[in-house]
Amino acid sequence: MIIWGWNKKTRKVIGTIGMQMCKFCNIQSLWQLCIVRTWFTLFFIPIIPYGKSYQISCPGCNSYYELTKEQFSDLKARLAAGETAPNAPPASDVADSEKYQGKTETQINYLKAMEEAQRED
């Protein structure tokens, strides 16, 4: 008996493009530039890719906006050149945002205090 399927999706994150407010989850976060591939599966293992789409997505709720290949290429080139979106925070803030993503303000403050205490030791 052969078990096959389709519509298995994988998402590859290329980079973050800047802070945006999500209209679905109402959270401001660093949106991600992604390539999404759709696969044919055999025994639940992705075998043959048959679809490809480009999108920017909210890391909080995974909602997304489709991009054309030209728009995707333009954004990817900007990321490779080190350009940031006009509303993007400085690189040090980006690292902190990714590090503390999904945490409450209280949790972030606690983690920062613990890191500072470890540096003092």
- When divided into structural domains, the chain yields a total of 2
Q: Are residues 14 and 51 in the same domain?
A: yes
Q: Are residues 31 and 73 in the same domain?
A: yes
Q: Give CA–CA dist 51/53, Å, rounded.
A: 7
pTM over 0.85? The answer is no
The pLDDT value recorded for residue 89 is 46
Helices (H), 24-90: 69-80
Q: Are residues 36 and 60 in the same domain?
A: yes
Q: Are residues 38 and 24 in the same domain?
A: yes
Q: Are residues 60 and 96 in the same domain?
A: no
The pLDDT value recorded for residue 91 is 47
* Domain range for 101: 89-121
Spans of the chain below 70 pLDDT: 83-102
The pLDDT value recorded for residue 85 is 58
Q: Are residues 94 and 55 in the same domain?
A: no
Q: Are residues 116 and 57 in the same domain?
A: no
The pLDDT value recorded for residue 39 is 92
The pLDDT value recorded for residue 33 is 92
Alpha carbons within 13 angstroms on the beta-carbon side of residue 61 total 12
The pLDDT value recorded for residue 53 is 93
The pLDDT value recorded for residue 102 is 67
The pLDDT value recorded for residue 36 is 93
The pLDDT value recorded for residue 2 is 76
